[in-house]
C-alpha cells in the first residue's frame, strides 16, 4: 500500500532525519510503499531552506535525506498542494509523525526576557501553529490519517482559548489512531478533548528506539567509525548548544574522565561545535546522520542538550547525562518544573531521571563530579531490558496504526 508520511524530515537536525528514516525503512520492510510528503509552509520555506547552504554541515542534511529516502513529493506549502501530491502518488493513507508536529504556542508564551535587549519573541511559523496539515486540517476526508509518536514540544495547552480548543477537538476526530511521544502531549490531547478519548491515546516510543531493527544495515561498523574519526579506545561525547557548561566545568570533566582512562570528545550539534572546550578530540564536520548515530552507539557515554542523542544512547544502553534545555519557562527564563521537558519523560521512563541537570538562562549549575558519577554508575543492564520492552511497544504501535488505516 502507498502510505504518506507527514513529519519533519528534511531538516537541519540529526534526530529528525533519523526518526524519519526509521519509519520509512519499517514500512518498506513491511512490504508497503512509503512516500514522504515534503510539507514546508511558504514562510518556513523562505526562511529555512537557505540555511541548507549555510555551511558544509547544514548542506550535508539535504544530501543525506535525498540519498536514503527515495520517495518524496515536491515541496507542498499548504493542504491543497498536499492533496494534489496525494493524488499524483496514489497515496492511500497518511501517518503523521513522529516528532514535534502538534505544536501551538501563544504569543504570551513566546515572549521571554533578554538582558541585552529586554525582550525576545520566538518566531511564529505556520508549521508549528494550529491549524495546519499536521493536525489533518485541509487534507481530504477520503484519506485516513493516524498520529504516530507525535509531540507538542511543551506547548502550554492550558492557555489555549475555548475557540481554539473547540477547533482542535474537531480536527482530532478524523484520526484513526492516537499515539504520542510523551505524557505532556497526552495531557494536552486529554485537555483538548475533555478526556473523552483518553483511553485511546497511547504513549509510544520515538521511531529511533527501533532504529537498530528498522535500519541496522545502514549503521557504520565500530571499526569504520574509530578509523574515520581517529578516536581513542574509550570516549564520552559532549555536545552543547552554546556554553551551557562552562570551560571550567568541561575541564573538570576532562580531568575526571581521564583518571578512568576515558577521553572527552566534542560532538557537533546540527550547526557544528558552538562551545569552547579543552578537549584533545573533536569530531570533524560535515558529519552525516548515520556516522553521528554510530559515534553515540559505540561510545562510553553521551553528555549534552539534545533529545535524540539521549534516545540513541538509551536504545543502545549507552550511559547518558542530559544537560536539559527543554520544557516550559517563565518570562525570566526559569524552568517551571511541570514535567513538560521531553527529555525528562524519556529519562524518567528508563529510571535514570537523576541523570538530568536543567539549564536556566543558558547556564547549568551542576558539579562535574555528579555528571562523571552518573556516567560511570549508569544502570546499563536495566536500561537494556527497558529498551527491549520499548521495541515490543513499538511493534504493537505500528501494527495498531496499520490496522487502523486498513493497510495491513
Q: What are the pLDDT digits (tens) for 214-257?
A: 999 999 999 999 999 999 999 999 999 999 999 999 999 999 99
Q: What are the pLDDT digits (tens) for 284-325?
A: 899 999 999 999 999 999 999 999 999 999 999 999 999 998
How far apart, in whole angstroms, are the C-alpha atoms of residue 223 and residue 203?
36
Predicted confidence band at 339 (pLDDT cuts at 50, 70, 90)?
confident
C-alpha cell at 150: 507525535
How far apart, in whole angstroms, are the C-alpha atoms of residue 122 and residue 111?
7
Q: What are the pLDDT digits (tens) for 109-156?
A: 888 877 777 788 888 889 999 999 999 999 999 999 999 999 998 899
List Cβ neighbours of 392 (8 Å cut-off, separation of 6 or more). none
The pLDDT mean for the chain works out to 94
Residues of the chain with CATH 3.40.50.2000: 219-377
pLDDT at residue number 75: 96
How far apart, in whole angstroms, are the C-alpha atoms of residue 264 and residue 280?
8
pLDDT at residue number 407: 58
pLDDT(408) > 60: no
How far apart, in whole angstroms, are the C-alpha atoms of residue 375 and residue 24?
33
Q: Assign domain 2-214+389-404 to its CATH architecture.
A: 3-Layer(aba) Sandwich (3.40)
Q: Which helix (H) or strand (E) holds 252?
A: helix 247-258
Place of cell 519523560: 345
The domain defined by 219-377 folds into: Rossmann fold (3.40.50)
pTM reported for the whole predicted model: 0.95
| Residue 250: strand, helix, or coil | helix
How far apart, in whole angstroms, are the C-alpha atoms of residue 169 and residue 64?
37
CA angle 39/40/46 to nearest 5° reads 160
Question: Rounded to the nearest 5°, which phi and psi values hold at 40?
Answer: -135, 125
How far apart, in whole angstroms, are the C-alpha atoms of residue 94 and residue 37?
9
High-pLDDT (> 90) share of the chain, %: 85
DSSP class of 174: T
How far apart, in whole angstroms, are the C-alpha atoms of residue 97 and residue 105?
19
Amino acid at each position: 500500500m502507498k502510505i504518506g508520511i507527514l513529519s519533519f524530515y528534511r531538516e537541519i537536525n540529526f534526530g529528525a532525519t533519523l526518526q524519519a528514516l526509521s519509519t520509512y525503512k519499517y514500512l518498506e520492510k513491511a512490504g508497503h510503499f512509503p512516500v514522504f510528503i515534503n510539507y514546508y509552509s511558504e514562510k518556513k520555506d523562505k526562511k529555512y531552506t537557505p540555511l541548507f547552504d549555510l555551511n558544509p554541515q547544514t548542506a550535508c542534511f539535504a544530501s543525506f535525506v535525498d540519498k536514503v529516502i527515495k520517495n518524496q513529493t515536491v515541496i507542498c506549502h499548504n493542504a491543497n498542494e498536499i492533496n494534489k501530491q496525494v493524488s499524483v502518488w496514489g497515496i492511500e493513507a497518511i501517518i503523521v509523525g513522529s516528532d514535534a508536529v502538534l505544536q501551538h504556542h501563544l504569543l504570551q508564551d513566546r515572549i521571554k526576557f533578554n538582558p541585552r535587549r529586554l525582550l525576545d519573541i520566538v518566531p511564529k511559523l505556520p508549521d508549528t501553529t494550529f491549524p495546519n496539515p499536521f493536525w489533518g486540517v485541509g487534507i481530504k476526508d477520503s484519506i485516513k490519517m493516524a498520529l504516530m509518536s507525535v509531540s507538542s514540544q511543551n506547548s502550554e495547552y492550558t492557555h489555549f482559548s475555548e475557540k481554539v480548543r473547540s477547533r482542535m477537538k474537531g480536527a482530532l476526530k478524523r484520526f484513526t489512531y492516537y499515539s504520542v511521544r510523551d505524557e505532556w502531549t497526552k495531557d494536552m490531547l486529554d485537555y483538548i478533548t475533555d478526556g473523552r478519548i483518553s483511553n485511546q491515546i497511547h504513549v509510544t516510543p520515538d521511531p529511533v528506539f527501533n532504529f537498530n531493527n528498522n535500519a541496522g544495515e545502514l549503521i557504520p561498523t565500530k571499526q569504520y567509525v574509530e578509523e574515520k574519526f581517529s578516536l581513542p579506545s574509550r570516549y564520552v561525547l559532549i555536545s552543547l548548544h552554546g556554553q551551557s557548561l562552562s570551560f571550567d566545568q568541561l575541564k573538570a570533566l576532562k580531568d575526571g574522565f581521564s583518571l578512568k582512562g576515558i577521553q572527552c570528545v566534542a560532538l557537533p550539534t546540527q550547526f557544528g561545535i558552538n562551545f569552547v572546550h579543552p578537549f584533545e578530540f573533536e569530531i570533524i564536520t560535515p558529519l552525516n546522520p548515520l556516522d553521528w548515530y554510530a559515534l553515540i552507539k559505540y561510545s562510553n557515554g553521551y553528555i549534552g542538550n539534545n533529545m535524540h542523542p539521549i534516545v540513541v544512547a538509551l536504545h543502545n544502553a549507552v550511559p547518558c547525562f542530559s544537560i536539559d534545555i527543554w520544557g516550559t519557562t517563565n518570562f525570566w527564563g526559569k524552568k517551571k518544573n511541570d514535567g513538560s521537558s521531553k527529555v525528562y519523560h524519556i529519562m524518567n521512563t528508563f529510571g535514570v531521571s537523576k541523570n538530568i541537570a536543567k539549564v536556566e538562562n543558558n547556564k547549568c549549575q551542576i558539579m562535574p563530579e555528579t555528571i562523571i558519577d552518573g556516567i560511570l554508575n549508569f544502570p546499563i543492564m536495566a536500561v537494556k531490558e527497558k529498551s527491549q520492552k520499548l521495541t515490543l511497544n513499538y511493534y504493537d504501535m505500528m501494527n495498531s496504526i496499520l490496522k487502523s488505516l486498513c493497510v495491513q
